[in-house]
Structure 1
Amino acid sequence: MNPYPLRLLTIAISCALLLNLPGCGGTEDTDTVSSSSTDTVTDTDTDTDSDSDSDSEDLGSGILHTAYYEFDQDNVNVVLSGTKVVIETNGLPNHTSPYWSSSNELHVEPTVTSYAKMAPGYIDDFVGTYTLTVDNSPSKASTTSATGLGAIGIAVSGSVIYNDEEGPGVPLDDAATSLDFNGAHTGPQSYHYHLEPISFSDDDSNLIGVIADGFFLYGRKCNSTGTYPTDLDESGGHTSITQFAQDAEYHYHIQNELYLGSYYILFPGNYQGSASAIR
């Protein structure tokens, strides 16, 4: 069940304060998912309330895609400006990990790794932001393009998504023992995911995040069928309805192919759309 359209309508009626990302330059037609102590979502569209209740109606004309309201609002700010969406995150996850320092309330003891095998650095050490700007209604490119090293997407938790490589010509296998139970570790900068993050998606159709070409990434199952999709392309993508879109749209899934016997790589393929840099 998707509670967000009702929530958007309620908050749009009750709130008059517009919160924007610093320096993002909001316009009159701006939807904002903003980090605040009161978990405020502000909608200042001049469209009718019935328009706001639609999951994916006319996305290019001022309605923020409903999937963006799944992103953790303490860590991630999302602003719609015209047909572009600006996503800014502090890079921190909203769940437990042994990569938090021992003084942090989200710290847990390592299970699938060990202190001796963990990568250096704690989540707490990262001070900065990542920003990604994508189309609110992305389209596939005429040709695919390879992902690079570093962040290739932003997860709903606030941390970033990496591909299946550990370094230039270095397969992920070489660093797999340093990954925590969410398939993540630190370095060279912040905490990031390589594998299925079971804290918020464990063999299900949950939203994982948005990839740098603007297409959303979901768990291994398809929400429209409740089963593993069988029509995925080489990037793990297909076109179907989702829990956030009443009309079929292209999106990615974690491919249901085992890696190292028990894990699932988040994104081992090429971008199907035109990717933007995550800075």
Structure 2
Amino acid sequence: MAKIRTGDITTHVQRLPAGAAGGTAPEGEAPVVVFVHGLLTDSLASYYFTLGPAFSAAGVDVVMYDLRGHGRTDRPRTGYQLEAFVEDLAYLLDGLEEERPVHLVGNSFGGTVAAAFAAWHPERAASVTMIESEPPVAAWTGHMAEGLAHARRELVRDEAIDWIAEQHGAHTARLSRGAGRILASTTLAEDIPSGRVIDDDLSAIRCPLLAVFGDESGLSAQVPELEAKLPDCRTVVLPRQGHSVLVEQPTRTRDLVLDWVRAHHVPGRRAAAVAGAAR
């Protein structure tokens, strides 16, 4: 476990070097993958039980970290605009002295952070994978405002937590109660919808992008738009899946993303800009 100062907070980060999880270290320079988790009920731990160790065993340098307000990272009361999450990641890579362009893999809100990072720090992004995510355009802010307002109302109600426990189990209920505490003690619900966005034409995302969806979640409706607007884009829609693709289909997701990373790994590349210059 390590903690690194990232601007105004301290961020919890875990690294799994290539080959550390039981595989063999690759010959030459390994790709580096940064896993970005989802909002409120999530943390870097989700990648320990899905993709992280498998990627390390396959010869990838793995970085996993807790977003601000989550897990073992600091939880300030304010400062949860999207650009704050992006700058945390830029500072984290500086602190890790990581000069290679990174492959960003984000689940749900983590995919939005990954896409925003690629848009605002293009020299540092080798590729993006969004798993059940939306790019950070204006429409996304409306979706987030509605969802976060509903969560803030409901997750402080014992009746709502009891219903979650009955439908989804005690573990999910505990995570939901924790999410309610985050929303009650911070300005996250107001900040995220008020943050910076990118143009609707997605032209700011210049690196290759893989988007993975479940066919039952509704987010797969983005497929035609993503394919039309992004010149190097692949979309995959998994049948009979909702929003929990990462948890319910970890092997399929691992294979898709690992193949994508390998196909877009360029050994020897270094970020063009001096670390931190873009901030």
Q: Shared fold (TM-score greater than 0.5)?
A: no
Structure 1 or 2: more helix by fraction:
2
Query: What TM-score comes out, normalization by structure 2 length?
Result: 0.25
Greater per-residue strand proportion = 1
Higher RCO by CA contacts (8 Å cutoff, separation 6 or greater): 2
Normalised to the residue count of structure 1, the TM-score between the two structures is 0.25
